[in-house]
Amino acid sequence: MQSFIQHYGYFALFVVSVLSSACIPIPSEVAYGFAGALCTAAVTGHVRFSLWGVIVIGTIGSLVGAIIAYEVGRSAGRTIVDRWGKWILLTHKDLDSAEDWFEKYGSASVLIGRVIPVVRSFISVPAGMAEMARVKFAVLTTIGSAVWVALLGGLGYAAGSNWKHVSADFRTAEYPIIAVVVLIIAFGLWHRIRAIRRQSAS
């Protein structure tokens, strides 16, 4: 991925940003950090990007990817439940509950979710399925994405020639976060299976 960004510049950064926000868990922290490092001459001997360019392109790409995932969730969410609900452990009642939940806590979920690894790749789908207001979703996604890109790009810029060491630290720090997310998902699945079994028994 770093080679892709280094060779194809802003286009590569845009593509990575779109994919990382559209349910493809690409390690965006590495991508934006590396792009930030390329804003200095320490990595390649010349300046490849501008920091503002990285922030703008990364934010726009993230917004585009998030909107794609949102629209898929909004347009196909109930159809997916109709066809495969029993296999993915979802019902229309679950969607109604998700819509109510997003009415109360959706803003914080989308905003904070944009700066959490793994979660940021998938948060747009439930927002779409819950039919969160499009304008609100776009604004919160833009703000959260801009903060995420600016933070990581700034860290990469500050790291400069030490980027390889910082990149390794990013990966190390990401593992416990991913582990927690996986545990939460596993607990949620276990809870859903028990609930469905109770409903079937009654």
Q: What is the pLDDT of residue 93?
A: 67
d(CA 77, CA 72): 7
Q: What is the pLDDT of residue 155?
A: 86
pLDDT bracket for residue 145 (50, 70, 90) = very high
d(CA 45, CA 70): 40
**Cα–Cα distance list, 199 to 82, 101, 193, 194, 195 (Å):** 18, 22, 10, 9, 6
The residue among 73, 195, 199, 53 whose CA lies nearest residue 132 is 73
Question: Residues for the chain: how many in total?
Answer: 202
92-102 tens-digit pLDDT: 666 666 677 77
pTM above 0.85, yes or no: no
Q: What is the pLDDT of residue 132?
A: 87
Average pLDDT over residues 4-19: 90
d(CA 152, CA 55): 9
Q: Structural domain boundaries of the chain?
A: 2-201
Q: What is the pLDDT of residue 81?
A: 64
Q: What is the pLDDT of residue 19?
A: 92
157-186 tens-digit pLDDT: 887 767 666 666 656 655 665 666 667 667
Inter-residue long-range contacts of 120-123, CB under 8 Å, 24+ positions, other chains counted: 120/20, 120/21, 120/28, 120/144, 120/148, 121/20, 121/21, 121/22, 121/23, 121/24, 121/25, 121/26, 122/23, 122/25, 122/69
26-85 tens-digit pLDDT: 878 788 988 888 888 766 667 789 999 999 999 999 999 999 999 988 887 666 666 655
Q: What is the pLDDT of residue 107?
A: 84
Q: What is the pLDDT of residue 28?
A: 80
Burial class (CB in 10 A: 0-12, 13-18, 19+), 48: buried
pLDDT bracket for residue 149 (50, 70, 90) = very high
Burial class (CB in 10 A: 0-12, 13-18, 19+), 119: middle
102-127 tens-digit pLDDT: 777 778 888 888 888 777 888 888 88
Confirm if 14 and 28 have CB atoms less than 8 A apart. Answer: no
Average pLDDT over residues 121-140: 88
Q: What is the pLDDT of residue 181?
A: 61
